[in-house]
A and B are shown apart, each in its own frame.
Chain A
Amino acid sequence: DAGVTQSPTHLIKTRGQQVTLRCSPKSGHDTVSWYQQALGQGPQFIFQYYEEEERQRGNFPDRFSGHQFPNYSSELNVNALLLGDSALYLCASSLEQGTVYGYTFGSGTRLTVV
């Protein structure tokens, strides 16, 4: 049974560019959450998608946006990239917003902004 799949695994972008990261949740999960993990820090919550809607949002600017598709997969988009956006981006999937059986994390996308 495949877990959470994220693509790409690594990415290098230039300041000011836009990037799209993708996440396929674990089979049977309907909720996707995105986290940003800066080097040496704990993951910070970006937002959560459930039933194709953004249900919660952390303290991130509007440059960060997302989408959930009918098959529950999700995308994270970041516009006007800054050097400070360099981080590991983690996707976590769950059932019913994580209130039931917890979360499964992907291995992440390492984004480097130069």
Chain B
Amino acid sequence: GNSVTQMEGPVTLSEEAFLTINCTYTATGYPSLFWYVQYPGEGLQLLLKATKADDKGSNKGFEATYRKETTSFHLEKGSVQVSDSAVYFCALRGRGSTLGRLYFGRGTQLTVWP
């Protein structure tokens, strides 16, 4: 079946530090992959996505590359800011009978200190 395993948090960094949040997946075929961000008291916002192997999604300085060989989609940012503090979710979109359904990881809480 489909599932997402995400690096457990919380992650605490100083401003301008490098960020990596690991995400691996299990799926039938080649799913689309996503990173969502959730700020306190809010719903989920799409951060970036990739729809096929070797695609790189990027947005607001965040990047993630779809690695078929390692079934991974790790999130990276070269220099984090206090405003990046949030919960980050890795997700995949199913195919076939589960088309249109999102499978989420457990989320990683990121706190950035000034």
Q: Which A residues are closer than 8 A to B by beta carbons?
A: 4, 31, 33, 35, 40-45, 48, 50, 55-56, 58, 90, 92, 94, 97-99, 102-103, 105-108
Residue of A nearest to B44 (CB): A105
Residue of A nearest to B49 (CB): A102
With contact pairs A55-B100, A90-B43, A107-B43 given, residues A98 and B93 touching in the complex (Cβ less than 8 Å): yes
Are A106 and B43 closer than 8 Å at their CB atoms?
Answer: yes
CA distance A72 to B87 in the complex (A): 30
Residues of B within 8 A of A43 (CB): 44, 89, 102, 104
Are A42 and B105 closer than 8 Å at their CB atoms?
Answer: yes
CA distance A97 to B96 in the complex (A): 12
Residue of B nearest to A90 (CB): B43
Q: Is B67 an interface residue (CB 8 A)?
A: no
Residue of A nearest to B36 (CB): A105
Chain B interface: which size bin? 20 to 34
Residues of A within 8 A of B97 (CB): 56
Residue of B nearest to A44 (CB): B104
Residues of A within 8 A of B41 (CB): 107
**What would 14 more interface pairs be, CB under 8 Å, given A41-B107, A42-B104?**
A40-B106, A42-B89, A42-B106, A43-B44, A44-B104, A45-B102, A56-B98, A56-B100, A97-B100, A98-B102, A102-B34, A105-B36, A105-B45, A107-B41
